[in-house]
């Protein structure tokens, strides 16, 4: 977008015009982005900064009411990191639960995608509609459905097991035990999360040229070899995206835990970072402490994502090498 | 911007940029103002407007009441009311966010346990002067006014009250010729008989998620949850008396099998549901639920019976007096605000609200009138309130204890068999003391 070269004029104004044009060129994208950035700054960046600032304060209702600040340095972080509750309960719950959910979500989603690829048109439509409904269900509704399914007294699961004579419903409660509590939560989260993986991976599978698997078959590769050495490397970027998104979603699971019986704090054994942060902030009015937990959760997520992305991109670089 | 992007003079480029800039600015501004677009809407009338928040659902049909209130208030003061209904479930968050944003109402209904909390934060005005001036001090339901009083300051005026007592299936009791219990032993015995006579029913669900079902047994055994200790508070939930009560209450489930495992995580609402669908035979639940039952099915009027919670040996076990206060959030019009509070909490309008909502008025004299009517499904609750009502520790720190669900956690650990009552109570006391001390 330099000035018209045919219009030869004095050197100085031309240079100025060129500079101006260059500046305009550089600034135009930003100008177009400005509205979106302004919205992001107001809705996302400013709250983030506020949470960070809050995490360095002892901030309670009094401070909320008066608007004064009360900086205490790293006290909140010291309190959290020095609390054995974090290391023995909250962190293992969060990390273990997320790892299980991400693995199961990606595996189940991929299997369903492979299934979709093999189905005929009609069955594929039926199948994808069914899984889309699981996806479309709001997390809160879904959680209540699972609670009802596993209701010890009147739920379908306990009814079925009772019919088989396996359990005594009056003496059963799956929500009090940490493991069974999280087993139900895992079912809920995986059921809600796998459709996204299935649809995305299915879309990626469609991009693999038909000749590749055919050639592999001719070369004598079996189904597993075709999947592992051909399909997976070809659509690796898609796996990367769905895994990272799943990690982010499953680490910050809140409603699915908070709404379960005992999940809102009555049973401290089942707290995860998200619920713990909420309870500290809104049930105990310790907004500073709650913010510090939220910041830690964010940092943890960032760290995991960075490590994961680096590992994967390195791997794919090596994979691409001849 | 239909111009071709090439071959224009720097001049037009400049104006283009300006246009873009202006456009961007306008867009962002528009978005910003769209977010913060709340002016004063009450500019039509002559007098000032008071903003009032009331909880949704207490009074199933609140519109006529609000109209009557607006008319009466307008007639007397010439001021307007802007009444908004908010949900109990997110009311606490609404108040804190309104506090942060400086958008608090002038007058609002608050839960009894919030008075200490918001009062300590400096958000509520002290009403003790106005109450004394009006000569109302001696005529307020004790449990409610106690909950609102912190160090001599009164952060809310009792509006309406509710209390939990023992509700039982009158039809089932009559069928087997059973009498409602009057002592703890009788409670256990009648429940044991029900277990044999009605094997499909749950004689007495012990709900792990409901702290208010437990408190009467702690108080009934002579225990306390916490007591004042100098300037602060100290938990006494692991004292011998309190533990005796906890032990009795939980043993009904753990030793006598009068409850079900599912109840370990039940909330009060789940317990009511089991009563409503015919499973539970006796429950500790509130006077407001009687209306809910009868509204759902008029046959309940014949099926439900109420007695005050039995005492350990005799008398009654105290029950928590819950309900609502009207607080003034440091309004610009304190006199008008008080006038409104007085109008809503005393006399005809107070009685009308209590009657419509199925709660009790917060004024002692009105409450005695209600008891005098000897309505079988109302009088036992009124008696419980007048003779055996109790308040929780009045400190904003107890609000935190409730937020942490320390008592529910203790109950669940005992009911699921993880800990003995003494161990669980010791742990709960330690957790409470940590909150009191911090």
Q: Does any CB of chain B come closer than 8 Å to the CB of residue A213?
A: no
Q: Radius of gyration (Cα) for chain B, nearest Å? A: 27
What's the pLDDT band for B259 if we cut at 50, 70, 90? very high
Q: Which of residues 268-307 of A touch B (CB under 8 A)?
A: 268, 279, 282-286
Task: HSE, CB side, 13 Å, CA atoms: give it for residue B366.
Answer: 23
For residue B295, the model assigns a pLDDT of 85
Burial category of B376 from C-beta neighbours within 10 Å (exposed 0-12, middle 13-18, buried 19 and up): exposed
Distance from CA of B274 to the nearest CA of A (A): 10
**From CA B301, how far away is CA B51, in angstroms rounded?**
39
This model of the complex carries an ipTM of 0.80
| Interchain contact, B13 vs A39, CB within 8 Å | no
Q: Does any CB of chain B come closer than 8 Å to the CB of residue A2?
A: no
Q: Which of residues 135-164 of A touch B (CB under 8 A)?
A: 151-153
Q: Does any CB of chain B come closer than 8 Å to the CB of residue A26?
A: no
| Interchain contact, A171 vs B261, CB within 8 Å | yes
* B49-162+321-390, CATH topology level: D-Maltodextrin-Binding Protein; domain 2 (3.40.190)
* Residue B14 to residues A6, A34, B7, B9, Cα–Cα distance (Å): 21, 17, 13, 9
Encode B238-261 in three state secondary structure. CCHHHHHHHHHHHHHHHCCCCCCH
Distance from CA of B60 to the nearest CA of A (A): 25
Q: Which residues pair with B304 in a beta bridge?
A: B169
Q: In chain B, which residue's Cα lies nearest the Cα of A177? A: B416
Q: Return the residue matching tokens 């509130």.
A: B286
Q: Where are the domains of chain B?
A: 49-162+321-390, 164-319+394-437
H or E stretch at B4: none
For residue B24, list chain A residues with Cβ-Cβ distance below 8 A. Answer: 31-32, 34-35, 38
Burial category of B25 from C-beta neighbours within 10 Å (exposed 0-12, middle 13-18, buried 19 and up): middle
Taking alpha carbons only, the member of B362, B327, B334 closest to residue B108 is B327
For residue B211, the model assigns a pLDDT of 93
For residue A319, the model assigns a pLDDT of 53
Most confident listed range (A261-265, B10-14, B53-57, B316-320):
B316-320
**The Cα angle at residue B291 between residues B289 and B294, in degrees rounded to 5:** 110
For residue A31, list chain B residues with Cβ-Cβ distance below 8 A. Answer: 17, 20-21, 24
Across A165-169, A207-211, B4-8, B385-389, least confident range: B4-8
pLDDT of chain A along its 322 residues, tens only? 444 545 545 567 788 888 888 888 888 989 999 999 999 999 989 999 999 999 999 988 888 888 888 899 899 999 999 999 999 999 999 999 999 999 999 999 999 999 999 999 999 999 999 999 999 999 999 999 999 999 988 899 999 999 998 888 888 899 999 999 999 999 999 999 999 999 999 999 999 998 888 899 899 889 899 999 999 998 988 998 899 999 989 998 999 999 999 898 889 999 999 999 999 988 888 899 999 999 999 999 999 888 888 877 776 666 554 4
* Average of per-residue pLDDT values in chain B: 86
Encode B366-430 in three state secondary structure. HHHHHHHCCCCCCHHHHHHHHHCEECCCCCHHHHHHHHHCHHHHHHHHHHCCCCCHHHHHHHHHH
| Interchain contact, B435 vs A282, CB within 8 Å | no
Across A220-229, B53-62, B176-185, least confident range: B53-62
Probe site for chain B from A15, A85, A153 (most B CB atoms < 10 A): A153
Strands B282-286 and B157-169: antiparallel
**From CA B281, how far away is CA B203, in angstroms rounded?**
5
Chain A and chain B share a number of CB contacts under 8 A equal to 141
**From CA B76, how far away is CA A233, in angstroms rounded?**
80
B305 neighbors B19 (Cβ within 8 angstroms)? no
What's the pLDDT band for B24 if we cut at 50, 70, 90? very low
| Interchain contact, A267 vs B209, CB within 8 Å | no
| Interchain contact, A176 vs B409, CB within 8 Å | no
H or E stretch at A165: none
Q: In chain A, which residue's Cα lies nearest the Cα of B397? A: A284
Distance from CA of B47 to the nearest CA of A (A): 28
Q: Which of A3, A173, A262 sits opposite B261 (nearest CB)?
A: A173
B258 neighbors B195 (Cβ within 8 angstroms)? yes
Q: Which of B117, B122, B405 sits opposite A265 (nearest CB)?
A: B405
| Interchain contact, B24 vs A152, CB within 8 Å | no
| Interchain contact, A61 vs B121, CB within 8 Å | yes
Q: Which of B24, B260, B408 sits opposite A35 (nearest CB)?
A: B24
Question: Per CATH, is B164-319+394-437 categorized as 3.40.190.10?
Answer: yes
Q: Which residues pair with B325 in a beta bridge?
A: B110, B158
| Interchain contact, A35 vs B403, CB within 8 Å | no
Q: Return the residue matching tokens 């639920």.
A: B289
For residue A20, list chain B residues with Cβ-Cβ distance below 8 A. Answer: 10, 13-14
Q: Where are the domains of chain A?
A: 11-45, 84-320
At residue B211, the 3 state secondary structure works out as: helix
| Interchain contact, A65 vs B28, CB within 8 Å | no
- Give the burial string for A214-241 (b: 16+ CB within 10 Å, else e): eebeeeebeeeebeeebbeebbbebbbe
The model carries a pTM of 0.82
**From CA B147, how far away is CA B162, in angstroms rounded?**
13
Q: Does any CB of chain B come closer than 8 Å to the CB of residue A177?
A: yes
Q: Return the residue matching tokens 């904003």.
A: B396
Q: Return the residue matching tokens 């100085």.
A: A12
For residue B123, list chain A residues with Cβ-Cβ distance below 8 A. Answer: 61, 65
**From CA B71, how far away is CA B147, in angstroms rounded?**
31
Probe site for chain A from B20, B261, B267 (most A CB atoms < 10 A): B261
Q: Which of A4, A62, A266 sits opposite B409 (nearest CB)?
A: A266
**From CA A16, how far away is CA A201, in angstroms rounded?**
52
Q: In chain A, which residue's Cα lies nearest the Cα of B14? A: A24
A86 neighbors A80 (Cβ within 8 angstroms)? yes
Probe site for chain A from B104, B403, B416 (most A CB atoms < 10 A): B403
For residue B238, the model assigns a pLDDT of 96
For residue A35, list chain B residues with Cβ-Cβ distance below 8 A. Answer: 24, 27-28, 31
A55 neighbors A298 (Cβ within 8 angstroms)? no
**From CA B72, how far away is CA B65, in angstroms rounded?**
11
| Interchain contact, B20 vs A39, CB within 8 Å | no
For residue A279, list chain B residues with Cβ-Cβ distance below 8 A. Answer: 403-404
Taking alpha carbons only, the member of A224, A239, A220 closest to residue A309 is A239
Describe the crossing of helices B211-220 and B240-254 by its angle, rounded to 10 degrees: 130
| Interchain contact, A27 vs B403, CB within 8 Å | no
Q: In chain B, which residue's Cα lies nearest the Cα of A37? A: B28
- CATH numeric code, A84-320: 1.10.3720.10
| Interchain contact, B400 vs A283, CB within 8 Å | yes
**From CA B231, how far away is CA B126, in angstroms rounded?**
20
**The Cα angle at residue A170 between residues B310 and B309, in degrees rounded to 5:** 10
Q: Which of A31, A34, A64 sits opposite B99 (nearest CB)?
A: A64
| Interchain contact, B121 vs A266, CB within 8 Å | no
| Interchain contact, A61 vs B96, CB within 8 Å | yes
- Name residues whose C-beta falls within 8 Å of residue B70's C-beta, 6 or more positions apart in sequence: B80, B81, B83
What's the pLDDT band for B438 if we cut at 50, 70, 90? low
């Amino acid at each position: 977008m330099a000035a018209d070269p045919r219009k030869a004029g004095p050197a100085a104004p031309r240079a100025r015009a060129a500079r101006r044009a260059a500046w305009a060129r550089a600034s135009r994208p930003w100008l177009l982005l400005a509205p979106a950035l302004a919205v992001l700054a107001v809705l996302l960046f400013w709250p983030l900064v506020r949470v960070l600032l809050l995490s360095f304060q002892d901030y309670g209702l009094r401070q909320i009411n008066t608007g004064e600040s009360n900086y205490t340095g790293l006290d909140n972080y010291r309190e959290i990191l020095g609390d054995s509750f974090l290391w023995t309960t909250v962190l293992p719950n969060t990390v273990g639960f997320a790892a299980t959910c991400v693995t199961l979500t990606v595996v189940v989603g991929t299997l369903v995608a492979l299934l979709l690829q093999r189905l005929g048109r009609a069955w594929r439509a039926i199948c994808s509609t069914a899984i889309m409904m699981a996806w479309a269900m709001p997390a809160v509704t879904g959680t209540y459905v699972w609670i009802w399914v596993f209701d010890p007294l009147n739920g379908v699961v306990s009814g079925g097991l009772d019919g088989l004579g396996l359990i005594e419903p009056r003496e059963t409660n799956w929500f009090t035990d940490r493991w069974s509590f999280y087993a139900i939560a895992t079912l809920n989260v995986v059921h809600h999360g796998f459709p996204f993986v299935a649809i995305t991976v299915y879309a990626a599978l469609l991009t693999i040229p038909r000749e590749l698997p055919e050639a592999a078959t001719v070369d004598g590769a079996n189904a597993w070899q075709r999947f592992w050495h051909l399909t997976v490397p070809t659509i690796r970027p898609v796996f990367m995206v769905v895994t990272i998104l799943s990690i982010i979603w499953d680490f910050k699971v809140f409603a699915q835990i908070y709404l379960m019986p005992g999940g809102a704090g009555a049973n401290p054994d089942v707290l995860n970072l998200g619920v713990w942060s909420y309870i500290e902030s809104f049930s105990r009015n310790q907004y500073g402490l709650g913010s510090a937990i939220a910041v830690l959760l964010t940092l943890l997520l960032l760290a995991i994502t960075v490590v994961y992305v680096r590992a994967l991109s390195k791997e794919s670089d090596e994979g691409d090498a001849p | 911007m239909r111009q071709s992007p090439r071959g224009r003079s720097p001049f037009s480029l400049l104006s283009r940029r300006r246009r873009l800039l202006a456009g961007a600015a306008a867009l962002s501004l528009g978005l910003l103002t769209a977010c913060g677009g709340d002016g004063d809407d009450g500019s039509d009338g002559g007098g000032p407007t008071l903003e009032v928040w009331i909880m949704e659902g207490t009074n199933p049909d609140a519109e006529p009441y609000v109209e009557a209130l607006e008319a009466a208030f307008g007639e007397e003061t010439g001021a307007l009311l802007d009444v908004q209904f908010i949900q109990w479930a997110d009311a606490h968050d609404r108040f804190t966010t309104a506090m942060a944003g400086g958008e608090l109402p002038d007058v609002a209904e608050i839960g009894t346990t919030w008075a200490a909390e918001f009062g300590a934060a400096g958000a509520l005005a002290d009403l003790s002067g106005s109450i004394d001036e009006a000569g109302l001090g001696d005529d307020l339901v004790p449990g409610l006014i106690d909950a609102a009083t912190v160090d001599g300051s009164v952060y809310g005026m009792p509006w309406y009250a509710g209390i939990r007592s023992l509700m039982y299936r009158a039809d089932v009791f009559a069928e087997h010729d059973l009498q409602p219990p009057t002592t703890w032993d009788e409670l256990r015995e009648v429940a044991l008989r029900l277990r044999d006579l009605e094997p499909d029913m749950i004689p007495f669900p012990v709900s792990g998620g409901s702290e208010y079902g437990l408190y009467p047994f702690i108080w009934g055994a002579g225990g306390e949850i916490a007591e004042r200790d100098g300037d602060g508070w100290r938990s006494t939930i692991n004292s011998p008396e309190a533990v005796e009560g906890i032990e009795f209450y939980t043993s009904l489930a753990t030793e006598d099998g009068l409850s079900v495992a599912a109840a370990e995580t039940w909330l009060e609402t789940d317990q009511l549901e089991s009563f409503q669908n015919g499973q539970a035979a006796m429950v500790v639940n509130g006077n407001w639920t009687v209306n809910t039952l009868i509204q759902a099915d008029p046959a309940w009027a014949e099926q439900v019976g109420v007695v005050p919670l039995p005492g350990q040996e005799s008398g009654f076990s105290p029950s928590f007096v819950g309900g609502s206060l009207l607080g003034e959030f440091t309004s610009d019009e304190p006199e008008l605000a008080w006038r409104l509070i007085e109008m809503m909490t005393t006399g005809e309008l107070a009685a009308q609200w209590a009657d419509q909502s199925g709660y009790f008025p917060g004024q002692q004299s009105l409450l005695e009138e209600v008891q005098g009517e000897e309505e079988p499904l109302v009088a036992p609750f009124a008696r419980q309130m007048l003779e055996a009502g109790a308040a929780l520790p009045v400190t904003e720190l107890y609000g935190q204890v409730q937020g942490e669900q320390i008592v529910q956690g203790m109950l669940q650990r005992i009911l699921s068999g993880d800990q003995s009552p003494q161990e669980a109570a010791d742990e709960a006391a330690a957790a409470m003391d940590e909150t009191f001390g911090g």
